[in-house]
Amino acid sequence: MAERKKVAVIMGSDSDFPVVSAAVKKLKTFEIPAEVHVFSAHRTPEEAAAFAKNAASEGFGVLIAAAGMAAHLAGVLASYTTLPVIGIPMKSAALEGLDALLATVQMPGGIPVATVAINGAENAAVLAAQILAVGDAELAEKLAEMKRQMREKVAKKDAAVRAQAEQL
């Protein structure tokens, strides 16, 4: 099998790391190599652009970008690469992340950013894995196993609740 593509997990501020770390952990469960960086769309735009421009040639297959408030990071990265970009809008004190959500999803034509829920780092990792799994049967099987396990957990909970209901 060919070497698996990497996923970049980029955040606009180091304060995003406690949330974004869930994406890194989830990627590791799928054995997807990940690199973590802090780039600011406004404070380090040249660095962010250079990273995005070179990401494909550096072995990346997907970029995940977490940003709050103005949340331009995912769009800036997407404008400089043809790789899929997944945005994680980060919750903020002012508007609870709604501002970041809107800034992340409202992209101009030709610059798509797939967007997960506010603080949805784990789903960003799963979506990245699903994108990479299109050409990776082993990864696709790991995703299928994850879904089987989720289904089994719900079935057990269903049985437990039905048993409790019968006791009423």
Beta strand 34-38 with 6-11: parallel, antiparallel or unpaired? parallel
Percentage of the chain modeled with pLDDT above 90: 95
The reported pLDDT for the residue numbered 60 is 98
The reported pLDDT for the residue numbered 1 is 54
32 Cβ contact partners less than 8 Å away, ≥ 6 residues apart: 4, 5, 6, 7, 125, 128, 129, 132, 139
Percentage of the chain modeled with pLDDT above 70: 99
- Mean predicted confidence (pLDDT) in 136-162: 98
The reported pLDDT for the residue numbered 114 is 98
Give the gyration radius of the chain's Cα atoms.
18
- Fold type of domain 6-136: Rossmann fold (3.40.50)
Tokens 């949805």 belong to 120
Separation between Cα atoms, residue 108 and residue 80, nearest integer Å: 14
Structure-block tokens of residue 75:
């769009």
The reported pLDDT for the residue numbered 152 is 98
Per domain, the residue ranges of the chain are 6-136
- pTM of the shown model: 0.94
Q: Which of 69, 82, 59, 60 is nearest to 10 (CA)?
A: 60
The reported pLDDT for the residue numbered 143 is 98
pLDDT tens, residue by residue, 52-95: 999 999 999 999 999 998 899 999 999 999 999 999 999 998 89
**Is-contact 61 7, C-beta < 8 A?**
yes
Separation between Cα atoms, residue 153 and residue 164, nearest integer Å: 17
pLDDT tens, residue by residue, 6-61: 999 999 999 999 999 999 999 999 999 999 999 999 999 999 999 999 999 999 99
pLDDT tens, residue by residue, 97-126: 999 999 999 999 999 999 999 999 999 999
